[in-house]
Amino acid sequence: MSASTLASSAKPQKTGWQKIVAQYHKPDVREGVRQIALTFIPYVGFWVIMYWSLSISYWLTLLLAIPGSLFMVRMFIIMHDCGHGAFFKSQKLNDLVGIIFGVLTFTPYYSWRHGHAIHHATSGDLDRRGIGDIQTLTLKEYNALPWYRRLGYRIYRHPITIFLIGAQLNFLILQRFTYHDDPKREKLSVHATTAAILGVAALLSAFIGWEAYLLIQGPMFYLASLVGVWLFYIQHQFEETYWRPHPDWDYAQASLQGSSFYKLPKVLQWFTGNIGFHHIHHLSPKIPFYRLEDAYRENDLFQHSPTLTLASSFKCLSWRVWDEEQGKMVGFARAAEVRRVQRAQLAGAD
């Protein structure tokens, strides 16, 4: 579906979307506890089994790290919902679970929540980029850069950099730093989380040895970071996403058009906590993840957003800059073509 078609279909219903999403703002304590149990208990179980597997074959340990890492991703999704105040009615309970699962996923809860709230408030706004998102330049901005800065952007946007290096560095290193303008609670969150992570690592290492700890936690952390960043990337970096200058920016359209419906196989949908219904989540982050599928199935409004499958999502790796003239993401080849045309026009003018 084209950007113009989606915009026209979303606009007439925009005035009523608040009423629609309000029906699903009903977190359930029992369901929340059940989701936590279904996630945390198997995660601990995989830790035990992976420790046992070390005495058999490390290849078996690495194989077990795959489902183990998916439970780690699911813990992050629960923390994510807690950060939006969506998982439980009680904010104190949301914060408690968020802090604990933040430690287990190497994420400072309050600091991450602050940056993620900005992402939700500015997603798709060309004039408010830079916090909680993947750096995205417009085609004109990219072509205006000197060659060495274009090279730097190309390196940054390369899949190896983003998924195989940057994702892990973000959660392991970058999340350990604070900035001078961060609120006090967010700064404390960073330092307390780092201390708690080291404490958990020290405690486990005292029981099983630091080598075993690294051999188990290392691959699970690596894979979970990769999957988490992949999901975030795919849900906003597809071809006909939504970017507008601030005067033309619209929250509802940015949510329904600028966030994809990532239609995953049921097992992956479960492990990723329904985050594939990202357009609904962006429109109303107060909906608990266990109610997102109901919202999608029961409302036509949510069934016309850009849809990606597991197979088609790999095409998103080709899109690197936002072409304002075409209203879509394009690759570096398109940017180079535009530069060649501009150089030819300048040469003809001379």
Q: Please report, for the chain, the start and end positions of each structural domain, with discontinuous segments joined by +.
A: 3-136+163-320
Q: What is the pTM of this model?
A: 0.91
- The one-character DSSP state at 127 is G
Counting Cα atoms < 13 Å in the Cβ hemisphere of 69 gives 20
One digit per residue, the tens of pLDDT, for the chain of length 350 reads 444 344 444 443 445 899 999 999 989 999 999 999 999 999 999 999 999 999 999 999 999 999 999 999 999 999 999 999 999 999 999 999 999 999 999 999 999 999 999 999 999 999 999 888 899 999 999 999 999 999 999 999 999 999 999 999 999 999 999 887 888 999 999 999 999 999 999 999 999 999 999 999 999 999 999 999 999 999 999 999 999 999 999 999 999 999 999 999 999 999 999 999 999 999 999 999 999 999 999 999 999 999 999 999 999 999 999 999 999 999 999 999 999 988 888 777 66
Identify the pLDDT of residue 180.
Answer: 79
Q: Strand 321-323 vs strand 328-330: parallel, antiparallel, or unpaired?
A: antiparallel
Tell me whether residue 178 is exposed, middle or buried, using C-beta atoms within 10 angstroms of its C-beta: 0 to 12, 13 to 18, 19 or more: middle
Reference 236, options 218, 254, 263; nearest CA is 254
Phi first, then psi: give them for residue 304, nearest 5 degrees.
-125, 10
Helix (H, G, I), strand (E, B) or coil at 137: strand
Distance, C-alpha 279 to centroid of its chain: 13
Residue type, 57: S
Rounded CA separation 113/99 (Å):
11
Q: Contact 70/80 with Cβ under 8 angstroms?
A: no
List of E strands, 201-286: 261-263
The DSSP symbol for 133 reads S
CA 169 from centroid of its chain's CA atoms = 15
What is the spatial distance between Cα 333 and Cα 195, in angstroms, rounded to a whole number?
A: 46
Q: Which phi-psi region, left, alpha or beta, contains residue 146 (left: φ > 0; alpha: ψ -120 to 50)? A: beta
